[in-house]
Structure 1
Amino acid sequence: MINVEQVSKKYKGADHYSVTNLDLSIDEKEIFGLLGPNGAGKTTLISILCSLIKPTSGSFTIDGLTYQKNKNVLKQRIGIVPQEYALYPSLTAFENLQYFGSMYGLKGSKLTSKINNTLDYLGLLPFAHKKINTFSGGMKRRVNLIASILHDPKVLFLDEPTVGVDVQSKNVIIQFLKELNSNGTTIIYTSHHLNEAENFCTRVGIIDHGKIIIKGEPKTLIKNQEGAHNLEDVFLSLTGKALRDHA
């Protein structure tokens, strides 16, 4: 579904590459976790794959399509759930979703039905006509997620989809994503919640200093890393325990 070949990215004025000669293949219907410390390159890689920024060199395809030749079709095939809320606070949940659905060419009863059914699944239908600025963090996360899947994308990119939410919202979000995946959606997931990644992802890749340093099924990585009892142990063993704060 996704094939990345020798992709590198160096930002203007930067001393170092954020991503360096990176190769990666992700199969259809995978839940692939892209994990890494702050500044490791995961946000840059995701931004490249979402066609938000251009690589300095290298190439990639999604569902056999390239950004250079198939930009508009490619954007229809993907959904993006950003870490920050991408919603209009003064509009209601329904109005937000109606607007984002229309951006993908959806309209009429089909769009209304899709919005109502998904709001109902995620426990938000009673709040459909309440303004977003009255919602809790978990509610906003769920609306943010709905906005990204109204057009039935083949690939869904998730950046910290459960950060700052309560346990109940987290559980509902994860179950919804698992159902999407079982229906054929390939999921690319980034998070600092390694326990969540261990249980949610079918395969993970750990990126550091712009390169994928290891990838595989979580259970296999834990088994093969000496002294590791969970994915967090693997992560710290490979990336170190030094702080990665940066401004």
Structure 2
Amino acid sequence: MESPTRTQRLLAEAFGTSLLLAAVIGSGIMGERLAGGNEAIALLGNTVSTGAILIVLITMLAPISGAHLNPAVTAAFLLKGDISLRDAAGYGIAQVAGAVIGVWAAHAMFDLPVMQLSMKAREGASQGFSEWVATLGLVATILLTTRAKPLAVPTSVGLYITAAYWFTASTSFANPAVTLARAFSDTFAGIDLASVPLFIAAQFVGALSALALVRLLVGRESQHAPGLLMSGEEKYEI
């Protein structure tokens, strides 16, 4: 089986992140419309859809790009030496572009104005701390599960995000591309632009903290997991 080309890997990251955001925003809109004002029910619908689509996306795209779908995850793999700086930069651009396209697609599906800016403030130290915790947990889940049982990564990530929606005050964005894109949706899952820098900073710090924690737990040896970490010229086998 031939290794995916760089173009294929970038397209996979853009496509996957686009579908992820379409699910996040679309399920938020649908949940809010059907919940009759009950925000807990709306959040539950948003949660289940997001966790489910993550399992699907990682399973189908890991053999192509590694299914990072998240600049914080890509940054962690860059620091581990599992992806080149050139590819990491390309992944980041593809992820952000795909995320914004996914937001626009969700708006179009629900007959809303495509171009929007969120007015939903998510401010304060507790929100930033929540994003640090959420991202630390996510990246640690990926790295440690990859080492222990690679085939369990898609399900583990989906379940972690499902749980983190409810145990973090920020509802676990845990993804800089997702955070920026959600600023362009004035819907249930939106975040205002003024709140974005705090979230993104906390997410990258969380990813670095997770990398340090994993090194403390298992050492510095490289733990390559086929199909989930690699994004260079290696073959992907799940």
TM-score by length of 1: 0.25
TM-score by length of 2: 0.26
The one of the two structures with greater contact order (alpha-carbon pairs below 8 A, sep at least 6) is 2
More helix by share: 2
More strand by share: 1
